[in-house]
Amino acid sequence: MSDKAINVLFLCTHNSARSILAEAALNALGRGRFQAYSAGSSPRENQRPNPMALQVLEKAGIPTQDLRSKSWDEFAQPDAPRMDLVITVCDNAAGEACPFWPGHPATAHWGYADPSEAQGSEEQRLEAFRQTLHAIRRRLELLVNLPADRVDKLLLQQTARDLARS
């Protein structure tokens, strides 16, 4: 690719937990080489990031101040940042018809269980968010440490899909 940041969009249905965790984690890990965004196929009106997702990110030392839930329609606009890679992080979003993404970005699916559906005490529910963040970070650390030649646009899609098996 070039010296510009690689734009990555993480998609989920409501853009309140998994995609928010992925956006924040990649922006923290990406060291300027990656720029992450997140969106949902159908965020609820006045949707906000899940407070437990924000709490887990903050506890991990990952900035949360700019995180907000948004529709994927925002990224299909002509003035939106052009994506290099679009990753679905929930099975619902993976099965939905996505908008047309300018530039034909690479795509991959990294499925994670929804931590916001965890049952039990507050500590058990927080642990579900911590485990999801840990799983996401494990893949993202592999992604950000790829040699430059593995991030070439033609290889990016296969590489991202291979990481789904990690």
Q: Catalytic residues, which ones? A: 12, 90, 98
Using alpha carbons, select from 39, 54, 36 the residue that is nearest to residue 133: 54
* CB-side neighbour CA atoms (13 Å) of 76: 12
Q: How many angstroms separate the Cα of 71 from the Cα of each of 28, 40, 77, 80?
A: 22, 5, 11, 12
Decide if 98 contacts 72 (C-beta within 8 A).
yes
